[in-house]
């Protein structure tokens, strides 16, 4: 087991020597991977920031529950107790039709005698603040409330948040597609580089095969090279994102006075940054494995 790890360490050493002995071209490869991954990562950053805003708004979403005019007080009490039992309701506020009518009159400076309105046209209403934005839970609550006797209409006052959510969802799908295409591009670029490396190490591969090396032994340094490319590329992506956030936020603060507000971008979390590095390393490893395997098969000497 120790020898197995020793062998991996040797392969890693050989890969490091290959990367640093051609540092110029390795740096170019880091930049290619870094910049290519920057595009979907910056998209993810924007979607994450906008999602946070929409999530905050979502907690303020309200249901307006309008009751029938003929409703009796015991029915209102029953609805109140039903609302109190629901776990997804943060708070409820009951607005009686009399209070609402008084407020409306004072706000609009209306006199019933002047307007010719003989009776209060407003119904009793509950205004409900929700502590969730889960569509399924809200729909269940609405359908349950609709079945209660005395309830006339229910309005969900977060339609635009819903639209924003839908746009963000579409953006996420777009980013996923863009990311997938760019990953394919990266695999092709890294594969080609590794394929060229196998050609420059043709003698070494042939000699190793002749003296009993397995294909996995020969492939190992190339795979570690791919992993190092991925690591370097991932780090460049994260550094570029940090730099872009800094520049954007500084510009946003400078324009605060002109725009009357700021939009500060928050950095991705450590787990998301780690995710970018892992994805980059996996792309590098997969691409180099694929390219090295194909090339080494071509050098097969057992005929």
Partner 1 sequence: MINFEKVFKRYPGNLDALQNINLEILPAELVFVTGPSGAGKSTLLKLISSVEKPTSGTIVFENMNLSQLQPRDIPYLRRKFGMIFQDNKLLYDRNCFENVSLPLAINDIDGIDINRRVRAALDKVGLLNKEKIMPISLSGGEQQRLAIARAIVSRPSILIADEPTGNLDKEYADEIMNIFYSFQQVGVTVIISTHELPITPIKFKKIHLIGGELNNQINNVQLLS
Residues lying near partner 1 in the complex (CB under 8 A) are found at 2-4, 6-7, 10, 203-204, 206-214, 217, 301-303
Q: Which is nearer to partner 1, 165 or 209 (CB)?
A: 209
> Residue 5 Cβ, how far from partner 1 at the closest point, in Å?
10
Those residues whose C-beta lies under 8 Å from the C-beta of residue 110, and which sit 6 or more positions away, are 104
R_g (Cα) of the chain, nearest Å: 32
Distances (CA, A) of 13 to 79, 125, 205, 222, 225: 72, 73, 17, 11, 10
> Residue 290 Cβ, how far from partner 1 at the closest point, in Å?
20
DSSP one-letter code for 148:
S
> Residue 3 Cβ, how far from partner 1 at the closest point, in Å?
4
> Residue 277 Cβ, how far from partner 1 at the closest point, in Å?
29
C-alpha angle with apex 68: 62 to 71, nearest 5 degrees? 115
- H or E, element range at 92: strand 89-95
Q: Which is nearer to partner 1, 7 or 180 (CB)?
A: 7
> Residue 298 Cβ, how far from partner 1 at the closest point, in Å?
14
Q: Which is nearer to partner 1, 9 or 239 (CB)?
A: 9
Q: Which is nearer to partner 1, 4 or 270 (CB)?
A: 4
> Residue 300 Cβ, how far from partner 1 at the closest point, in Å?
8
Phi, psi of 172 (to 5 degrees): -65, -40
Q: Which is nearer to partner 1, 136 or 297 (CB)?
A: 297
> Residue 286 Cβ, how far from partner 1 at the closest point, in Å?
22
Q: b/e per residue, 15-36, with b = 16+ CB within 10 A?
A: beebbeeeeeebeebbebbbeb
Instruction: Note whether 64 and 92 are within 8 A (CB).
Output: no
Q: Which is nearer to partner 1, 137 or 204 (CB)?
A: 204
DSSP one-letter code for 266:
P
> Residue 4 Cβ, how far from partner 1 at the closest point, in Å?
7
Where would I find the H helices in 109-158? 112-115, 135-146
Laid out side by side, the sheet with 89-95 consists of 89-95, 125-130, 62-67, 151-156
Beta bridge pairs of residue 93: 127
62-67/125-130 β-pairing: antiparallel
Q: Which is nearer to partner 1, 62 or 204 (CB)?
A: 204
Q: How many residues can be counted in the chain?
A: 303
Q: Which is nearer to partner 1, 10 or 99 (CB)?
A: 10
């Amino acid at each position: 087991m120790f020898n197995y790890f020793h062998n991996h360490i040797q392969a890693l050493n050989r890969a490091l020597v290959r990367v640093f002995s051609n540092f110029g071209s390795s740096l170019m490869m880091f930049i290619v991977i870094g910049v290519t991954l920057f595009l979907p990562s910056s998209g993810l950053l924007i979607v994450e920031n906008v999602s946070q805003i929409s999530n905050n708004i979502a907690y303020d979403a309200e249901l307006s529950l309008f009751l029938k005019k003929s409703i009796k007080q015991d029915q209102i009490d029953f609805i109140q107790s039903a609302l109190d039992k629901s776990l997804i309701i943060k708070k409820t506020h009951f607005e009686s039709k009399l209070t609402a009518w008084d407020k409306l009159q004072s706000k609009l400076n209306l006199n019933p005698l002047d307007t010719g309105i003989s009776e209060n046209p407003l119904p009793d209403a509950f205004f409900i603040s929700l502590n969730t934005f889960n569509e399924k839970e809200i729909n269940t609550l609405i359908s349950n409330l609709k079945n209660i006797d005395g309830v006339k209409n229910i309005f969900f006052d977060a339609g635009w948040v819903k639209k924003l959510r839908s746009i963000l969802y579409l953006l996420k799908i777009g980013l996923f597609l863009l990311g997938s295409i760019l990953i394919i591009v990266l695999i092709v670029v890294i594969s080609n580089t590794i394929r060229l490396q196998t050609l420059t190490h043709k003698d070494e591969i042939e000699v190793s095969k002749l003296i009993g090396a397995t294909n996995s032994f020969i492939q190992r340094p190339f795979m570690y090279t791919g992993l190092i490319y991925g690591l370097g590329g991932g780090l460049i992506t994260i550094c570029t994102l940090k730099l872009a956030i800094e520049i954007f936020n500084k510009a946003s603060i400078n324009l605060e006075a002109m725009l009357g507000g700021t939009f500060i971008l928050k950095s991705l979390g450590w787990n998301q940054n780690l995710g970018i590095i892992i994805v980059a390393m996996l792309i590098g490893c997969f691409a180099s494995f694929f390219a090295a395997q194909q090339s080494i098969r071509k050098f097969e000497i057992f005929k």
